[in-house]
Amino acid sequence: MNIYVCVKQVPDTEARVQVGGDGKSIDSAQINTILNPFDEFAVEQALLTREQHGGEVVALSLGDDGAAAAIRTAMAMGADKGIHLKTDQSADDPLQVGKELAGQIGGSGVDVVFFGKQAVGNEHGQVGLIVAELLAVPAISEVSSLEVSAGSASGKREIEGGSESFETPLPAVFTTQKGLNEPRYPSLKGRMAAKKKPIEVREVTLDEPLLTVEKISYPPERSRGMIVGEGAAAVPELVRLLKEEAKVL
């Protein structure tokens, strides 16, 4: 099978995030980056699909040099090839990114494309579905179980308080999340091998973004509240406060 997985390098979830001097950007100088945690599930599912059906896993990432790091991690996990869609543009707009990815994936004879459900950082949760719509192929988001067979797939996606079962012909797009699989850690051997695998670099120019950042600010600080008391003895006062002061009970 011809398998693509789209990956993104993102700020570490532990990172301290500082608003830049212009009030419209994030000061990224001090921020460590990692492969988007949701994309680990996507890479793992791509590898499982290859193990079952044979074929090749291509990792695709759009962005500046950081994107190459995401591809290397995917390769260290086991992806066969990488394509780096290189641009210095900010690539924050999901439609703009989706259009470029769809343009690159379309016509490649792909059977399945995996995405993370959402990229940590911008947290749009849109790109996979946009790509599928633009390619006019079915997309299932937030899959929690997946069975791929020749020409079709079935599985479940999570909804509030339950799940939906689906069936679809291939080619199709899937966005992945926790619970679908346990992503493997790249082994030392995997890391060494990844260094030798080819990354094809394609220079790209994105459309104008349609979402414009006007302002980035910190959320209102939650003021430290009160310690009502210690142990079970504090309970009557806690309940009273929730009823009379906070009025939430």
Partner 1 sequence: MAINVLVAVEVRDGELKKSGREGLGLARKLVEQAGGGEVAVVLTVDSAAELPARLAAAGADKVLVALRSEFANYCPGGFAAAVAAACANVSAAVVIIPASALGKDLAPRVSARLGAPAASDCIEASFADGKLTATRPAYGGKVRVTVSFAGEPAILCIRTNVFDTLPADSSRNAVVQDLPVELGEAELKLKITGVERTSGERPDVSEADIVVSGGRGMQDGENFALLEQLAQSLGAGIGASRAAVDAGWRSHGDQVGQTGKFVSPSLYVACGISGAVQHLAGMASAKVIVAINKDAEAPIFKVANYGVVGDLFEVLPALNEELSKQS
Ligand X SMILES: Cc1cc2nc3c(=O)[nH]c(=O)nc-3n(C[C@H](O)[C@H](O)[C@H](O)COP(=O)(O)OP(=O)(O)OC[C@H]3O[C@@H](n4cnc5c(N)ncnc54)[C@H](O)[C@@H]3O)c2cc1C
Residues in touch with ligand AMP (CB under 6 A):
6-8, 36, 38-39, 42, 60-63, 91, 94, 97, 115-116, 118-119, 122-128
Residues from 41 through 80 that contact partner 1 (CB under 8 A): none
- Residue of 54, 107, 151, 162 interacting with partner 1 (CB under 8 A): 162
E strand spans, 117-185:
139-149, 152-159, 162-169, 172-176
- Give the one entry of ligand AMP, ligand X, partner 1, none that residue 166 binds, where binding means its C-beta sits below a cut-off of 5 to 8 angstroms depending on kind: partner 1
| Beta carbon nearer to partner 1, 12 or 56 | 12
- Give the one entry of ligand X, ligand AMP, partner 1, none that residue 181 binds, where binding means its C-beta sits below a cut-off of 5 to 8 angstroms depending on kind: none
Give backbone dihedrals phi and psi of 172, rounded to 5 degrees, phi first: -150, 160
- What does the alpha-carbon distance between residue 19 and residue 26 come to, in Å, rounded to a whole number? 5
Residue 64 gets which letter from DSSP?
S
- Smallest gap from residue 52 Cβ to ligand X (A): 27
| Beta carbon nearer to partner 1, 46 or 129 | 129
Neighbours of 94 (CB within 10 A): 21
Please check whether residue 190 is in contact with residue 78, taking contact to mean a CB–CB distance below 8 angstroms: yes
- Smallest gap from residue 201 Cβ to partner 1 (A): 27
In this structure, what is the dihedral angle of CA atoms 193, 195, 200, 205, given to the nearest 10 degrees?
Answer: 130
- Smallest gap from residue 158 Cβ to ligand X (A): 14
Cis link prior to 171 (omega < 30° from 0)?
A: yes
CB under 8 Å to 15, separation ≥6 — which residues? 30, 31, 32
- Give the one entry of ligand AMP, partner 1, ligand X, none that residue 203 binds, where binding means its C-beta sits below a cut-off of 5 to 8 angstroms depending on kind: none
Residues from 166 through 185 that contact partner 1 (CB under 8 A): 166-169, 172, 177-179
Does 113 interact with partner 1 (rule: CB under 8 A)? no
